[in-house]
Each structure stands twice: as C-alpha cells, then as structure tokens.
Amino acid sequence: QKEVEQDPGPLSVPEGAIVSLNCTYSNSAFQYFMWYRQYSRKGPELLMYTYSSGNKEDGRFTAQVDKSSKYISLFIRDSQPSDSATYLCAMSVSGNTGKLIFGQGTTLQVKP
Amino acid sequence: GAVVSQHPSWVICKSGTSVKIECRSLDFQATTMFWYRQFPKQSLMLMATSNEGSKATYEQGVEKDKFLINHASLTLSTLTVTSAHPEDSSFYICSARGTGGYTQYFGPGTRLTVL
C-alpha cells in the first residue's frame, strides 16, 4: 500500500464548476500537508500549505485536512480553463527532515 | 519571492556521456535542496537530499556513483548524471528549502533525453 493515495483521474469539469480533489494517507505521523499544481513539462508550483487539521482558504482555493480520517482535500471554486493541470498532494512528518511524500497527482481539465 | 531556477531546461546527449544539471535559489538561501525524478504521468520520486556543505543523502535504490550531487553553496546545487544511458531519460526536478522552513519551492525541471 502506498503511503499516499490519489486518484489520477482524469477529471473533466465545465468552467465555473466546483472541483474537489482528494488524497488519503496511511502514516499518522504526517503533520504538514501541501497541494502543488503542475502544468505539463513544468515544475510543481505550491498552492496551499497547511499544518495539522482544519481548513485554509486562499482566494478560490480551500484546503481541508481531516487527520482523524487521514484524508485531505483541495476545493477549487469557479474553476477556470487556466486551472487545467495536474494537482499533486504532498505531506511530511513533523521535524525538519523536509522529505515530502507525493501522491500520484490528479489531472484536471476545465472545459470552457 | 522563492524562485528556483534550473539549467538547462532540456538536454539531449549520447549514451555514455555525463550531463550536469544546475539548480539555483535566486532570492533566498537554500540550506537544503532536493532532487526528484518524474516519469511521464507519474508522481515525483525523491532521489536525494543535500544540505549545503554536506554529502547528499540518497534514497534507497538510487545509485550515488551514477547521480553525483554537489551542494557547494547556499544558492547552488548540481546533479551530474554520469555515463548516462537511455533508461536515465526522464524529467529531473530540484527543489529548495530555506532556513527554518518546511516548504519546498520547485524549479521548472530539466528534461533529459539519452540517445
């Protein structure tokens, strides 16, 4: 079993839809949770960063962490064609080793 | 802020040659840099972690003699693929983390094609 599971999709939605992206994990020691966006043939770009459980909102993006269920989500409101990309969840344990464990990534296509 | 660059962005080389990839943090000091490898439609796999002035720590299964990593300054790390073979063809991405931080900032990646 992988430490981090993420449905690779692809996920196709119409413009303006609310998108829900999810990851589950097995290691209860994970404390830091991140979402990255990666366009084709580019490096990942940090979107959201959360510590422990709870919600965090930044513009059209909301990240949720439920440590009791070992489940994290990223919601995108009013999705735009420019949001079409691969979204990677990543997480790390407490401490300063900084080693990130990535999910496989979900490919999102927002159709105009 | 937090910009990481990589050079070159794309390189093609013949089998048996060595290729060096540079990773630079442009506006912050990176105490730790990471090197990842990504195959098409797959996630990032950590190859090694390097701290400035120290030897790199390689992940299990990564040949340290083949993938030489140098982190000689707080803004520069290099990955040298020695005696490259076609199976080394991949997308190599570096990331950098500043002092006291947990967030990694990624470079744009280097696409290596070995003929």
CB contact under 8 Å between B106 and A96, yes or no, is no
The more confident residue out of B1 and A40 is A40
A104 touching B (Cβ < 8 Å) = yes
Please say if the pLDDT value at position B34 is more than 90.
yes
Nearest-CA residue of chain A relative to B35? A99
pLDDT band at B1 (very low <50, low <70, confident <90, very high): low
Q: Which residues of A touch B104 (CB under 8 A)?
A: 46, 98, 100
Q: Tell me how far apart the alpha carbons of residues B66 and B37 are, in angstroms, rounded to a whole number.
A: 14
What is the percentage of chain B residues whose pLDDT exceeds 90? 70
The more confident residue out of A22 and B43 is A22
CB contact under 8 Å between B42 and A104, yes or no, is yes
Out of B43, B102, B108, name the one closest to residue A103 (CB).
Answer: B43
**Which pLDDT belongs to residue B54?**
84
**Chain B closest CA to A16's CA: distance in Å?**
26
**Which pLDDT belongs to residue A41?**
83
Nearest-CA residue of chain A relative to B107? A43
Q: Which residues of B touch A94 (CB under 8 A)?
A: none
**Which pLDDT belongs to residue B31?**
87
CB contact under 8 Å between B109 and A43, yes or no, is yes
**Which pLDDT belongs to residue A94?**
65
Out of B43, B97, B111, name the one closest to residue A104 (CB).
Answer: B43
Q: Which residues of B touch A44 (CB under 8 A)?
A: 44, 93, 106
Mean pLDDT calculated for residue range B12-17: 96
Q: Tell me how far apart the alpha carbons of residues B94 and B104 are, in angstroms, rounded to a whole number.
A: 9
Q: Tell me how far apart the alpha carbons of residues A6 and A102 are, in angstroms, rounded to a whole number.
A: 9
Q: Tell me how far apart the alpha carbons of residues B35 and B44 are, in angstroms, rounded to a whole number.
A: 10
**Which pLDDT belongs to residue B2?**
82
Q: Which residues of B touch A8 (CB under 8 A)?
A: 41
**Chain A closest CA to B94's CA: distance in Å?**
8
Out of A32, A43, A97, name the one closest to residue B106 (CB).
Answer: A43
- Residue numbers of chain A with a pLDDT score lower than 50: none
Q: Tell me how far apart the alpha carbons of residues A58 and A23 are, in angstroms, rounded to a whole number.
A: 19
Rg (CA), chain A: 13
Angle made by CA atoms A94, A28, B59, in degrees to the nearest 5: 65
Mean pLDDT calculated for residue range B93-112: 87
Mean pLDDT of chain B: 91
**Which pLDDT belongs to residue A98?**
66
